[in-house]
A and B are shown apart, each in its own frame.
Chain A
């Protein structure tokens, strides 16, 4: 499994645990705010959890431009690289 797919899978689980979002609704192109009903407070929680999960020091600024699930995957892989 490629890193990209792996990261997507992890994020998918995280969304399910954290926000009880149905995994079948989570697609790479899903818009976090419009399709998955994530709000700004959820985004803060999400960054905290991603930090725990990956061990990478993610700053909220890194996530400013993030709009879709795929954007998170790319951002995480970029920071991990």
Chain B
């Protein structure tokens, strides 16, 4: 009983520390790393590679720190397949999902909200890593994604567009399907589960679970997008593919839930 209480308080303090490290690191690391990236010799492609590697290492270290502090543990299934993929589509239960995925993939690209560019630290970090910027112009995002695939980068997209609402079925937007169809790439589906579920949408950082979170990240078999291409229009293809992916992710996540519980 007492031990449980001590463990709870420990994780609460460690979680607060984690949020602080992430916040402060997000300012300090770019201030130091970005000028170095721009000073080092090499063209913008080399800089982009290095920038992505920096963020990868930062996120990987953060996850390891949280693991050492016993805030969380994790299992990754199919790391090789994950690193060799083009378009990674994952469900999005928690705040840490993107930290995990970028922490696992050294050459990851991802779509970031245009609004994040307003923060000067973020702006330079995002720019130096060449991340895809969503400024609300849909065809522009698809163009940037095509370029990323040409450069051999792994594009991470959460098709829900935002974190899932706990207890509700997943609702997917059509952006991910449109990227797959219009850039002509196959899909590597990834499921993420967190047991006990925590750090969800609208959750407060101090509402920590009764025991450490355990993440399971599973790379599934490839989904061929070209099966969904339709003569008539990409819009219809995207609708069909999104419908397929919605069923797929809801089924996979439900199976995971029943296994872990």
- Of A17, A18, A19, A41, which one neighbours B139 at CB under 8 angstroms? A41
Which residues of chain A from 37 to 62 have a CB within 8 Å of any chain B CB? 39-45
- Are B238 and A41 interface neighbours, CB within 8 A? yes
State whether A39 and B239 are in contact (beta carbons under 8 Å apart), knowing that A17-B232, A45-B233, A45-B234 are contacts in the complex: no
- Are A39 and B139 interface neighbours, CB within 8 A? no
User: How many residue pairs, one in A and one in B, have C-beta atoms under 8 Å apart?
Assistant: 34
* A42 CA / B175 CA spacing, docked (Å): 10
| B interface secondary structure, majority | helix
* A45 CA / B136 CA spacing, docked (Å): 15
Which residues of chain A from 4 to 43 have a CB within 8 Å of any chain B CB? 17-20, 39-43
Per-position contact with A for B112-153: 1 when CB-CB < 8 Å, else 0? 000000000000000000000000111100100000000000
- Are B235 and A19 interface neighbours, CB within 8 A? yes
Check: B188 CB closer than 8 A to any chain A CB: no
Report the nearest B residue to A60, measured CB to CB: B137
- Are B233 and A41 interface neighbours, CB within 8 A? no
- Are A18 and B138 interface neighbours, CB within 8 A? no
- Are A41 and B239 interface neighbours, CB within 8 A? no
Check: B173 CB closer than 8 A to any chain A CB: yes
Q: Closest CB-CB distance, B53 to chain A, in whole Å?
A: 31
Q: Closest CB-CB distance, B260 to chain A, in whole Å?
A: 33
Report the nearest B residue to A17, measured CB to CB: B232
Tally chain A residues at the interface, Cβ within 8 Å. 11
- Of A19, A39, A44, A45, which one neighbours B173 at CB under 8 angstroms? A39
A-side contacts of B234, CB under 8 Å: 45
- Of A19, A40, A43, which one neighbours B239 at CB under 8 angstroms? A19
- Are A43 and B236 interface neighbours, CB within 8 A? no
The size bracket of the interface on B is 10 to 19
B-side contacts of A40, CB under 8 Å: 136-138
* A18 CA / B236 CA spacing, docked (Å): 7
- Of B142, B232, B236, which one neighbours A41 at CB under 8 angstroms? B142
- Of A17, A20, A39, which one neighbours B175 at CB under 8 angstroms? A39
- Are A18 and B235 interface neighbours, CB within 8 A? yes
Which residues of chain B from 233 to 258 have a CB within 8 Å of any chain A CB? 233-236, 238-239
* A42 CA / B237 CA spacing, docked (Å): 12
Check: B174 CB closer than 8 A to any chain A CB: yes
A-side contacts of B174, CB under 8 Å: 39, 41-42
B-side contacts of A45, CB under 8 Å: 233-235
Q: Closest CB-CB distance, B150 to chain A, in whole Å?
A: 20
Write the residues of chain A forming the contact surface with B, with a CB cutoff of 8 angstroms. 17-20, 39-45
Write the residues of chain B forming the contact surface with A, with a CB cutoff of 8 angstroms. 136-139, 142, 173-175, 178, 232-236, 238-239
24 residue pairs of the A-B complex, CB under 8 angstroms, read A18-B233, A18-B235, A18-B236, A19-B235, A19-B236, A19-B239, A20-B236, A20-B239, A39-B174, A40-B136, A40-B137, A40-B138, A41-B138, A41-B139, A41-B142, A41-B175, A41-B178, A41-B235, A41-B238, A42-B235, A43-B138, A44-B139, A45-B233, A45-B234
